[in-house]
Amino acid sequence: MTALINLLDLDPAQLVAYCGELGEKPFRAKQLQRWIHQFGADDFDAMTDLAKSLRDKLKGRATIAAPAIISDHTSADGTRKWLVDVGAGNAVETVYIPEDNRGTLCISTQAGCAVNCRFCSTGKQGFNRNLSVAEIIGQLWMAEFELRRTHGIEPGPKGERQITNVVMMGMGEPLLNFEPTVTALKLMLDDNAYGLSRRRVTLSTSGVVPMIDKLSQECPVALAVSLHASNDGLRDSLVPLNKKHPLADLMAACRRYLEFAPRDFITFEYCMLDGVNDTDQHARELIALVKTGPQPVSCKFNLIPFNPFPESGLLRSKNPRIKEFAQILADAGIVTTVRKTRGDDIDAACGQLAGDVQDRTRVAQRMEKMAEYQKKFGPDFGRIVEVGS
């Protein structure tokens, strides 16, 4: 038997091509897309304005299947976290954050993460594989219609949209899973699917420079960069990818991206780590980093209070220190915000998404080896040091 094609895997152009293979006109693809992404339909018989002959063809050849929900938890502050099954013993997490004027969904793009940032519990779990288009867009499909069911809101364009913003900030590095991520982005933006504005879709990257350039040409959305350090020595130890794409290259890529971006600034995310990256000197280095040269990087900083976990060996900066750090940036004319911690009672806060991943990178084993060495050589073995300070 031929495997059924999952229609969640197809972007608008691919769906037109697929309908063409079935002998159908392009407008059928738009109808089909609306049923899937605006009405949340997964039953072809429910698609009443499609010809019965087309519905019968689809039933024998296609399916609409998002990842299955394993667990569903709601925080005291209304944050909702789903653990979804992506097969072969792997699960990823999707988080919905409600606010007064918007609802933001945080989507995962990989089962685990290979970047292994020091302060991120997801990275400590290791990496198994990239997610497919259906597994990425399926998180939005699942969450939108689960939320509508919960709130008694009808499916379809007349029902109030629950998810107004999407951030690709869940498990994984989106730009290391480029093609499926961009296909999912195109569906999010399409008027016959979710119709989100480019300004309301944000991709967060740890700094994969060549893929930042590629994204600017294929599907420029709002860009957030996980910066977390003010100089290369420190960033090498916090974000290992920096050894391949150092800060000068990353800042140049950000300048290039701004020529195509839907917003006139890049968001720099900065996790506040006590005694590691939170001094006045670090703040001054950040100002120099984004303002030096003939073309400063138009940006805003989002300071993120660290969510501690035992394996990191790191602590959250004290609130007064975060405020002082923010003030230095603000006094230099840089828009600076401090992220509110949301959903930490259900481990849904920034850096806490862990899921359940079969680790191909053996991070857990390497962490155990590090603990052995620290026991043998002392607690400072392997600790973060700031080169040149």
Q: Identify whether 179 is a catalytic site residue.
A: no
The vertex-84 CA angle with 82 and 86, nearest 5°, equals 160
Answer whether 208's CB lies under 8 Å from 176's CB. yes
Active-site residue identified among 93, 144, 146, 269: 93
Cα separation, 216 vs 208, whole angstroms: 13
Cα separation, 312 vs 146, whole angstroms: 34
Residue 326 tokens, joined: 């923010």
The pair phi, psi for residue 127, each rounded to 5°, is -135, 140
Strand order in the sheet with 165-168: 68-74, 80-85, 91-99, 102-106, 165-168, 201-205, 222-226, 266-272, 299-305, 335-338
Cα separation, 7 vs 313, whole angstroms: 44
CA dihedral 157, 136, 309, 289 (to 10 degrees): -90
CB burial of residue 378 (10 Å; 0-12, 13-18, 19+): exposed
Angle, to 10 degrees, between the axis of helix 280-291 and the axis of helix 319-331? 30
Cα separation, 125 vs 362, whole angstroms: 8
Cα separation, 134 vs 25, whole angstroms: 24
Rg (CA), the chain: 22
Answer whether 74's CB lies under 8 Å from 136's CB. no
Q: Identify whether 21 is a catalytic site residue.
A: no
Pure H helices in 170-262: 178-189, 209-218, 232-238, 247-258
Pairing of strands 165-168, 201-205: parallel
User: What distance lies between CA 158 and its chain's CA centroid?
Assistant: 28
Q: What is the 8-class DSSP label of residue 131? A: P
CA dihedral 139, 145, 146, 151 (to 10 degrees): 140
Residue found under tokens 């091509």 = 17
Cα separation, 290 vs 52, whole angstroms: 59
**Which residues are known catalytic residues?**
93, 350
